[in-house]
Chains A and B, each alone.
Chain A
Amino acid sequence: MTFRAAFFRKIAFLVVIAILLLPLFWLGQPSTSPARGARGGPGGILAQLRTRSGLSEAELGEIDPTSEAMRLTTLGLRGVAANILWTKADTYKMKKDWTNLSATLEQLVKLEPHFISVWRFQAWNLSYNVSAEFDDYRKRYEWVIRGIEFLKKGVRYNEREPKLLWDVGWFTAQKIGRADESKQFRRLFKQDDDFHGPRPLEERDNWLVGKEWFARGEELVEQGATLRGISPLLFFSDRPMCQMNYSEFLSKDGIFGERAKQSWSRALEEWLQYGDREFPTYEGGTIRLNDKERFDTRAQEIWEELEKLAPGLKAKIEQEKRARLRPEERRALDTPFEERTPEQQALAFEASRKVHVTHREVAQRITGPRRSEALKLAEEAEKALQMSSKIDQQRTIVNFEYWRMRARFEQTPQAIEAREYIYLGDEAFRAADLTRAKQYYDLGLQKWRELLDLPEFPQLKHDGNTGRELIDVIRNYQRILDARDEPWPRPFILQDIIDLHKDSVPDFEPPA
């Protein structure tokens, strides 16, 4: 009968549809990251082929059939749908419904997988805002990791986006390393087998892992990916800074000796490589952070050359300028730096500006056949000084000189020993062993003295960061002595540090 025939035809269609869907299922199933456990499957055939050939959607990142399907089914209302999801996510966040928040974010990024801000903003939300809602630090850690995993997924979808890689690095390095709970976080991070997979224990450091991601970002930029929303100067500083931080945290973890030295040496090496990188400046042209010394030297050399061309001319001009100074200015200038009164400070500053002689002034006073040569030299010197000051500005942004010095002095046996003794002293103090604490501290302070006196680092004792650190050490020493009811030693071995930096730590009271 016709009815039967029609019925069977329909059934047949349904069966055919179902059969056609099966290969799609088999082909299209997405792979899941085995690192986090999930199903840990390689996914369908398409996913496997994609992985094998490193294919990605128009070189953007992963193709996901569901994502595609979702975008198609919104029929051009993707933006609206994404907005609704975004609002929903906000509501879930407000109502602390974390499970649904995560699920909504998943949908959101399926809908807008190449919208970088979504990844960045929501990852921040998870790692920084949601994690802070929890009381249990282990839960906080879990959500920091969730944010990082979220970003890593974003990286898979957007393989040409250095900013996302940088974010992964930043979250891993800074969120774990600099949070209030960094001690606990770092401990949990080391134990997190599911996050690290086969990574050996000693490499499971947030700074080292972060560094890997920064390195991937750098690589991408070097291959020509465009960097948006962050200055290259900062972008490239984070990888070497990770090594610095890692080295610094080694001492906090009680690791000294050769490992510390090597780590700092590596940090220095990377920092100098960073200094060799060319960065564009706002005025156009490029600079290298390492070049400042070269330019300064060149400017100095030109003084010598000018001196040869016109011996004593510079000194003469200086004398002339001095002669034009008002008497109080001259007096201020002649007073040694430490003895100047505040008014004199200002006067001396003004006066030194007035007596300053430039290359050009000297060159212009030269007459005769050497004049043009002198002017050319002056011009070169001016340029060199300009470059030097440009570089100087950039150096301040990343605290280049401090870290360069730091990486250098930390490698000295004095620094390593000093740190080890202070660390042991702190440990002893915590264990209420005051005698040993004092012994270690005395040794540590001795080593610091030796370090500060090294001729290679004349500026070290004037350095603010080091100063603050030492004031902290001195304060702890004070506590130890107080606890032992001992008087403050006179003369104190680091008295110069107290004198220089006593005001840099707000609640520090120098020993009477």
Chain B
Amino acid sequence: MSSGKSTAPGTPEVIVETRNLTKIYRDFWGRQKVRALKALDLTIYRGEVFGLLGPNGSGKTTTMKLLLGLLFPTEGQALVFGRDATDVSKNERIGYLPEETYLYRFLTGEETLEFFGRLFNMPAAVRRQRTAELLELVGLTAARKRQVREYSKGMARRLGLAQALINDPELILLDEPTTGLDPIGTRAMKDLILRLRDQGKTIIMCSHLLADVQDVCDRIGILYDGELKELGRVDALLKVRDMTEIRFSGGDGALVDEVKQVIERHNGRIHFIGNPTTTLEELFLQIIRESEAHPGRRVRGGISGDGH
């Protein structure tokens, strides 16, 4: 692909693309310390909710920081909206919710949003309106005059989300969006992500909370030890093709046809016949196990997907 635009009609627009993206951390003497990310190739399209999965230290936050330009790649390239990730102007269209909400504790909720609004060169009126809307959206209107230092973790998280949305971004990067949220907050966050997707925004999130990813992501990439182990649509990845599962009740367990016949004969009801799915958790653990057994190999074993 030569540009961020789609190559063919019908193919969605590419928002993020990494080529051979590699990050090596070095110590003071320039000796290699950690190879945090190894030759990552990734393409994310407009309107997707993309999840980056991986255990701690697998390189998902590194990827995110490389995409944001907070880190510089050792090799390869990260393109956001077709521009180099270190280009500041891409930030105009990006919203970022950091892992922990890094906000100035001495500002109030309202001041925080005002401040970040200013950084987007927003006219004062727009800024005020946006601030009010977002505070309402994340439910902090009542707490808008309080300093962030007095916020609970959940409140700070919600304010963090609000600041990420202050510029009505096209691309939203969420680093562990649901940590620190209670179940209701988590639900609301997931709903919001889905709503944003419905508005046509592209969302990249990384998380180790598999249920969250499963609920909202269209596609996921699984990173382990800096390498991309799996990439694909969530539904496809979770489909098990060479197995048939029959779920029925009241039967005593014979061959499928016989069972069918028996069921029909006994006027029984068939609940489900088809390909069963596994859970993301199982998939994830399987990939980790295989990666440990065969390091350096892209996992395409028992569970195959139709990824790109």
A residues sitting closer than 8 Å to B (CB atoms) are 1-3
Contacts and interface: CB of A to CB of B under 8 A. Distances in A.
Interface in B117-161: 145-147, 150
A2 B146 CA distance: 8
A400 B146 CA distance: 91
Nearest to B146: A3
A356 B258 CA distance: 162
B105 to A, nearest CB: 12
Contacts of A1: 145-146
Interface residues of B, number: 4
Given A1-B145, A3-B147, 6 more contacts: A1-B146, A2-B146, A2-B150, A3-B145, A3-B146, A3-B150
8 contacts: A1-B145, A1-B146, A2-B146, A2-B150, A3-B145, A3-B146, A3-B147, A3-B150
A3 B147 CA distance: 8
Contacts, number: 8
Which 5 pairs from chain A and chain B are nearest by CB? A2-B150, A3-B147, A3-B146, A2-B146, A1-B145
A305 B283 CA distance: 136
Contacts of B147: 3
A3 B146 CA distance: 7
A230 to B, nearest CB: 65
Interface string B194-219: 00000000000000000000000000
A1 B142 CA distance: 12
A3 B148 CA distance: 11
Contacts of B145: 1, 3
A148 B146 CA distance: 65
Nearest to A2: B150
Contacts of B150: 2-3
B152 to A, nearest CB: 13
Contacts of A3: 145-147, 150
A1 B147 CA distance: 11
A3 to B, nearest CB: 6
A2 B150 CA distance: 9
A4 to B, nearest CB: 10
Contacts of B146: 1-3
A1 B145 CA distance: 10
B107 to A, nearest CB: 12
Contacts of A2: 146, 150
A2 B148 CA distance: 12
Interface in B43-61: none
Interface in B11-33: none
A1 B150 CA distance: 11
A408 B145 CA distance: 99
B111 to A, nearest CB: 12
Nearest to B150: A2
A504 to B, nearest CB: 87
A2 B147 CA distance: 10
B108 to A, nearest CB: 8
Nearest to B147: A3
A1 B146 CA distance: 9
B202 to A, nearest CB: 39
A2 B145 CA distance: 11
B29 to A, nearest CB: 38
A154 B99 CA distance: 67
A124 to B, nearest CB: 58
A174 B95 CA distance: 87
Interface string B142-183: 000111001000000000000000000000000000000000
